[in-house]
Structure 1
Amino acid sequence: MQYWIMGAGGIGCALARACLARGDQVVIFSRTDPAIDGAEWQAVDNTDQAALTEATAAHALPDRVINTLGMLHQGEQQPEKRIEQLDEAAFSNSLRINTWPTLAMAQLLSARLTRSQTLQFAALSARVGSISDNRAGGWYSYRISKAALNMAIKTIGIEWQRRFPAATIVGLHPGTVATRLSAPFRSGLAEGQLHTPAQAARHLLQVLDRVQPEHSGRLFAWDGQEIQP
């Protein structure tokens, strides 16, 4: 099986290693070289649609594409606790990283897909992007950008069912994973709630192995349970 993996953070690298261990072929699209033996690396900013299109043009479409990009905090940008802390530039930055790359990849895939192609496209989302599950409030930029991502996945799924009925797009919630994204927010977690990147990769691949075209447009947690929008 052939994979395109967008992003070389903790989960992206763990997914690449897990796929390679299964005998799969992997191309990683990221700004920095992950230096993973056996994986091909393409230097690209995944938020730049033109650069992403150019970087993928020489490759045949894979069996699976996984977008692992996600940003909760960056430099001085931190999750908002109150609406007064919301900043337009920070909000736009969250949309640029958490939402746009999935749309950009879906555009270039749609330009190349055929009706019979059984491609799977998965994007890492988050349970906090569920509107119906929001009981704590706060984290405006992250929640809204992930809710927008979930809507993008739903909308693309509807279109693909008409145009590319053999293809699938889903959102995946990896749980709380020991990466830089979750590092400042792990205190108070119950035992067993924090997953290693390797565990998360194994869980996510198990979910993808069960996904079928009729699941397109839906969001699934790491344990296979569907998350309502």
Structure 2
Amino acid sequence: MKRALVIGASGGIGTAVTLELRTKGYDVTGLSRRADGLDVTDEASIEAALDQLKGPFDVIFVATGALEPGGHAPEKAVREVSSEAMEAAFRVNAVGPMLVLKHGLRLLPKDAPSVFAALSARVGSIGDNGIGGWHSYRASKTALNQFIHGAAIEMKRTHKQATTVCLHPGTVETDFTAKYAGRNKTVPAAEAAANLVRVIESLGPAQTGRFFDYAGQEIPW
């Protein structure tokens, strides 16, 4: 039986991905702040949680993220930017997933296929940014993309069959997006999870270090 680890398993997308993986026959271990005290902004918390696990896992999926970390709403203009908001966004959206990868590397097989996928967002694409705004959130996701891309290059030497990617789920109907969906088309969390798992299962080492949406289409950096 394949094994999967979902970080952020109590959130809207994390819960749905956990259920979808189990439907697909995976033995899923879920960790979250709500249920397990895992705080992705605290490296000691990440290390303690992952040190309790035994690998290997075929899939590690990081579903954590925040639009309003520390209560800071996405900025509509440069004049609204603050160092506190930027730091909070980077800690949750970029630094946290990278630290999960740091301490989760030992849980991935070195001699078999595996996938490490981090939940990113299309707004983190510099090439796709045509409207501006949301500076801290955008930049934090851009940083995450760079972290994952760089890690994938290194992992080609140590985990030759690993696929390390960023995934954009679309605009999902969760508490996370309720205030900001606007006119954007939304999809139920279960549908988004099915899409994401389908993409995960379609990827291989040839796609490592890249950025894909819920339909498996590559997104420009």
What TM-score, normalized to structure 1?
Answer: 0.90
* Further displaced range: 130-139 or 176-185: 176-185
Greater CA deviation, 70-79 or 161-170?
Answer: 70-79
Residues 1:227 and 2:215 are matched in the alignment: no
Matched residue type, 2:121: A
Any idea what SS the aligned residue of 1:182 has? coil
Name the amino acid aligned to 2:148.
I
Are 2:201 and 1:209 equivalent residues in the alignment?
yes
Query: 2:146 pairs with 151, 171, 192, which one?
Result: 151
Tell me which stretches of 4 or more aligned residues in structure 1 moved more than 6 Å: none
Q: Using the alignment, how far apart are the partners of 2:85 and 2:121 within structure 1? A: 19
SS in 2 for 1:121: strand
5 Å-filtered alignment, 1:18-167, equals 18-33=20-35, 42-61=36-55, 62-74=57-69, 76-111=71-106, 113=108, 115-167=110-162
Residues 47 and 118 of structure 1, relative CA distance in 2, 3 Å threshold: farther
1:94 touches 1:141 (CA, 8 Å); kept in 2? yes
3-state SS of paired residue (1:149) = helix
Q: CA RMSD in A?
A: 1.5
8 Å CA contact 2:69, 2:88 repeated in 1: no
Equivalents in 2 of 1:49, 1:107: separation in Å?
A: 10
**What is the percentage of aligned positions where both structures have the same residue?**
36
SS at match of 1:171: strand
Shift of the 129–63 alpha-carbon distance from structure 1 to 2, 3 Å rule, reads same
Cα displacement (A) at 1:76: 3.5
Question: Is the helix fraction higher in 1 or 2?
Answer: 2
Compute the TM-score of the two structures, normalised by the length of structure 2: 0.93
* Unmatched segments (≥5 aa) in structure 1: 34-41
Cα distance change, pair 105–74 in 1 and its aligned pair in 2 (3 A): closer
SS in 1 for 2:141: helix
Contact kept, 8 Å, 1:71 with 1:94, in 2: the verdict is yes
Q: Which amino acid aligns with 2:180?
A: F
CA deviation after TM superposition for structure 1 residue 118, in Å: 2.3
Between the two proteins, the alignment pairs up a number of residues equal to 218
Q: In structure 2, which of residues 4, 12, 15 is the aligned counterpart of residue 13 of structure 1?
A: 15
2:179 is paired with a residue of what secondary structure? helix
Matches within 5 A, 1:177-196: 177-189=172-184, 193-196=185-188
Label 1:188 to 1:112 Cα distance change in 2 as closer, same or farther (>3 A). closer
